């Protein structure tokens, strides 16, 4: 499994994590190439369905990256996203896909290093879980 | 509204196990408001079912549709054209919706995806509480707008009972004593004389005890 390079979709809030990813780039910090960033106006806008659809389309993990607690531009969108992610983790456990494939993280716009490190750590944890099980099943069926 | 909660995934997965193509049918009324079976919940469950079945190596085709009202034959009729395409209908409506669909499409398995809970009101975002038991003979006008049938654990009409302590019910410190609420509200309204009036034993035949109920409005019938 050493060659497994997980595809991780990051729903990144425009006001923090997306800018932090930009800062990471400007600092020439490396993070895994499988990280695919989708800019959202607030993590509160990330619907549970968006996360499941990412997994349905073959992502190995999904990270929802929002502002630090108390710093949401829209007051509490990040906290609402965190509650949704918690419910999704339970749902994914219930259907044996694994709740560990989804996580919520918080950071500020200036924390480029935190973004890179968080992305690296999450990819590592997804690597240990292995590929999205729906891909395994599809390969076996083929 | 009628409140409901999605069934556990284990039970849902077991109920769709024999099928390869289903219609996941939501309802745009009560279950949408209580976030149990509206368009969003249909999309979420459809996605979860597809993922679960792909992972099991037995893909499930899930078509999503949310009717304006699933307990109304005129909306359920909309399904007639395409209903033969499906192995089963999985309804996310309350029990009334499930039965309306099952009655109209008698040849097709129709299964509930939610557990219908109670008639309730929203206390806060994400919190619903029972408010009406549909007893068929409303007494809210005498009880300060607080229902002793739905909100008193014993459904007594001349309360409180000895289990009322500091405004809470003996079944749980989280449950308000309905009769304490009734007294407080009657005092606020200056209607404490209503409390003094002994209520007659209730005729429960207007409730479920009289068997399944119907309302017939001849002025409305076509």
Task: Tell me what pLDDT residue A39 has.
Answer: 98
pLDDT in tens, B72-92: 999 999 999 999 999 999 999
B200 SS3 class: coil
Strand A8-13 and strand A61-66: the pairing is: parallel
Task: Tell me what pLDDT residue A23 has.
Answer: 97
pLDDT in tens, A3-30: 799 999 999 999 999 999 999 999 999 9
**What pTM was estimated for this model as a whole?**
0.94
pLDDT in tens, A40-64: 999 999 999 999 999 999 999 999 9
A74 falls in which pLDDT band (50, 70, 90)? very high
Contact A115, A75 (CB under 8 A): no
Q: Once rounded to an integer, what is the mean pLDDT over residues B21-27?
A: 98
Distance from CA of B215 to the nearest CA of A (A): 40
- Residue B93 clears pLDDT 70, i.e. is over it: yes
Of A95, A136, A140, nearest to B51 by CB-CB distance is: A95
A116 at interface of B, judged by CB pairs closer than 8 A: no
Neighboring chain A residues of B54 at a CB cutoff of 8 Å: 56, 134, 137-138
Contact B55 A53 (CB under 8 A): no
User: A45, A134, A140, A142: which to substitute to probe chain B, counting the most B Cβ within 10 Å?
Assistant: A134
B8 at interface of A, judged by CB pairs closer than 8 A: yes
Q: Once rounded to an integer, what is the mean pLDDT over residues B13-34?
A: 98
- Domain spans of chain A? 8-141
Contact A137 B13 (CB under 8 A): no
Residue environment code for A84-101, b if the CB has 16+ CB neighbours within 10 A, otherwise e: bbeebbebbebbebbbeb
Task: Tell me what pLDDT residue B168 has.
Answer: 98
Neighboring chain A residues of B44 at a CB cutoff of 8 Å: 48-49, 52, 91
- Residue A118 clears pLDDT 50, i.e. is over it: yes
Q: Any idea of the CA torsion for B67, B73, B76, B82, to the nearest 10 degrees?
A: -160
Task: Tell me what pLDDT residue A1 has.
Answer: 47
Distance from CA of B110 to the nearest CA of A (A): 22
- Residue B53 clears pLDDT 50, i.e. is over it: yes
Q: List the A35-40 sheet strands across, edge first.
A: A35-40, A8-13, A61-66, A102-106
pLDDT in tens, B163-173: 999 999 999 99
CA distance B49 to A79: 27
Task: Tell me what pLDDT residue A2 has.
Answer: 56
- Domain spans of chain B? 2-118, 133-210
Q: Once rounded to an integer, what is the mean pLDDT over residues B109-134?
A: 97
Closest-CA residue of B relative to A56 is B51
CA distance A35 to A11: 10
Task: Tell me what pLDDT residue B89 has.
Answer: 98
Distance from CA of A107 to the nearest CA of B (A): 27
Fold of A8-141: Rossmann fold (3.40.50)
Total beta-carbon pairs less than 8 A apart between chain A and chain B: 45
Closest-CA residue of A relative to B12 is A95
- Residue B222 clears pLDDT 90, i.e. is over it: no
Question: Superfamily assignment of B2-118 in CATH?
Answer: Response regulator (3.40.50.2300)
């Amino acid at each position: 499994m050493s060659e497994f390079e997980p595809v991780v979709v990051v729903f990144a809030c425009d006001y923090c994590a997306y800018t932090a990813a930009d800062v990471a780039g400007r600092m020439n910090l490396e993070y895994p190439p499988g990280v695919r960033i989708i800019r959202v106006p607030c993590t509160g806008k990330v619907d549970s369905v968006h996360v499941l659809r990412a997994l349905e389309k073959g992502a190995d993990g999904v990270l929802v990256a929002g502002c630090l607690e108390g710093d949401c531009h829209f007051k509490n969108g990040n906290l609402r996203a965190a509650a949704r992610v918690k419910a999704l983790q339970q749902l994914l456990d219930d259907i044996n896909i694994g709740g560990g494939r989804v996580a919520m993280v918080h950071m500020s716009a200036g924390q480029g290093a935190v973004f890179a490190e968080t992305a690296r750590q999450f990819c590592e944890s997804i690597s240990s879980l292995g590929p999205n099980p729906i891909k395994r099943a599809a390969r076996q069926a083929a | 509204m009628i409140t409901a909660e999605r069934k556990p995934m284990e039970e849902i997965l077991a109920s769709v196990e024999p099928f390869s193509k289903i219609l996941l049918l939501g309802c745009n009324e009560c279950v949408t408001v209580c976030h149990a079976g509206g368009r969003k919940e249909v999309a979420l469950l459809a996605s979860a079912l597809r993922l679960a079945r792909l992972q099991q190596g037995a893909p499930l085709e899930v078509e999503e549709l949310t009717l304006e009202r699933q307990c109304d034959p005129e909306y359920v009729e909309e399904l007639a054209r395409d209903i033969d395409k499906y192995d089963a209908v999985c309804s996310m409506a309350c029990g009334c919706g499930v039965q309306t669909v099952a009655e109209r499409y008698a040849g097709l398995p129709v299964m509930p995806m939610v557990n219908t809970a109670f008639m309730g009101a929203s206390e806060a975002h994400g919190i619903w509480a029972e408010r009406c038991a549909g007893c068929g003979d409303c007494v809210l006008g005498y009880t300060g707008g607080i229902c002793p049938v739905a909100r008193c654990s014993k459904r007594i009409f001349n309360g409180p009972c000895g289990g009322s302590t500091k405004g809470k019910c003996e079944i749980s410190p989280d449950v308000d004593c309905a009769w304490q609420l009734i007294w407080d509200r009657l005092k606020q309204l200056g209607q404490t004389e209503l409390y003094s009036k002994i209520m007659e034993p209730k005729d429960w035949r207007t409730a479920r005890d009289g068997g399944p109920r119907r309302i017939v409005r001849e002025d409305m019938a076509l």
